[in-house]
Amino acid sequence: MEILLIGSGSRVKSAIDVVHAAGEHRVTGIVDNTLKPGDTVFNVPAMGHLDDLQSILAKTSIRHVLLVITDIGMRMNAAQRISSLIPDLQFISAVHPSASIGRDVSIGTGTLVMAGAVIEAGSTIGEHVVIGAHVSIGADGHIGSFVSIGAGAVIAEACSVGSGTSIGILAGLTKGMIVGTHCAIGTGAMVLESVPDLHVAVGSPAKCVRTRLVGEPNF
């Protein structure tokens, strides 16, 4: 199945790699506000900016997209905008074949799972989540929608991460931790106590250092 990628930069390259390795879809175009039409990434052409999406689709038979915008707030806004303006467009998920997915795991629409990730049994993953390379999510975990988890992060069993939250590279959550919605957990932070909604936590052990706004840019 032919798909469009919507995103920019290194995340687009990673997504192309995952989609190619999975073998279920073929990326035939990129929608990227930082590229000019005709630019290419791994021989995949840029077809225009997000504002051009309706006209791009009108010229093709493509009706499936993968949204891989790095910034969570921008990803949320783009998903809402696309769903409102083009309701028949379908979001797809992509899971690298080297990822280990346990029994009774649910992965939401539009989610990207990169190489070497482990999602253990009974876990639920929301929509439009980005799970980086070699992330580990323990059994019975819950990851809300529009979450980004950086490469190498370890989330122990029975943890819950709220929607719109960013978990930094190599961060860790111990068993049963709850991280609220729209939080930011810093690179290498070790979460030993639950983090309330709309907070930034950094360090080891992680401490809340300030509040943040919904849609505030990632670290």
Which tens digits make up the pLDDT trace of 102-144?
Answer: 999 999 999 999 999 999 999 999 999 999 999 999 999 999 9
DSSP string, the chain: -EEEEE--HHHHHHHHHHHHHH-S-EEEEEE-TTS-TT-EETTEEEEE-GGGHHHHHHTS---EEEE--SSHHHHHHHHHHHHHH-TT-EE--EE-TTSEE-TT-EE-TT-EE-TT-EE-TT-EE-TT-EE-TT-EE-TT-EE-TT-EE-TT-EE-TT-EE-TT-EE-TT-EE-TT-EE-TT-EE-TT-EE-S-B-TTEEEETTTTEEEEE--TTPPP-
pLDDT band at 218 (very low <50, low <70, confident <90, very high): confident
Res 21: pLDDT: 97
pLDDT at residue 104, as a whole number: 98
What does pLDDT average to over the chain? 96
Query: pLDDT digit string (tens) for 52-80?
Result: 999 999 989 999 999 999 999 999 999 99
Please state which of the four CATH numbers 3.40.50.720, 3.40.50.20, 1.20.120.530, 3.40.50.1980 is assigned to the domain occupying 2-91: 3.40.50.20
In contact, 8 and 67? CB cutoff 8 Å: no
Question: Tell me, what's the pLDDT at 92?
Answer: 97
**What is the band of 9 on the pLDDT scale with cuts at 50, 70, 90?**
confident
> Which residue is listed with tokens 């900016």?
49
Q: Which residues of the chain does CATH 3.40.50.20 include?
A: 2-91
The two structure tokens encoding residue 65: 């997209």
d(CA 97, CA 92): 16
| Every domain range in the chain assigned CATH 2.160.10.10 | 94-211
CATH classification (class only), 94-211:
mainly beta
> Tokens 């529009």 — which residue?
146
> Is residue 219 scored above 80 in pLDDT?
no
User: What percent of the chain is modeled with pLDDT above 70?
Assistant: 100
Each residue's pLDDT tens digit, 176-207? 999 999 999 999 999 999 999 999 999 999 99
Instruction: Note the pLDDT of residue 183.
Output: 98
Tokens of 190: 């070790």
| Percent of the chain surpassing pLDDT 90 | 91
The pTM assigned to this predicted structure is: 0.96
Structure tokens at 101: 């997915």
pLDDT at 121: 98
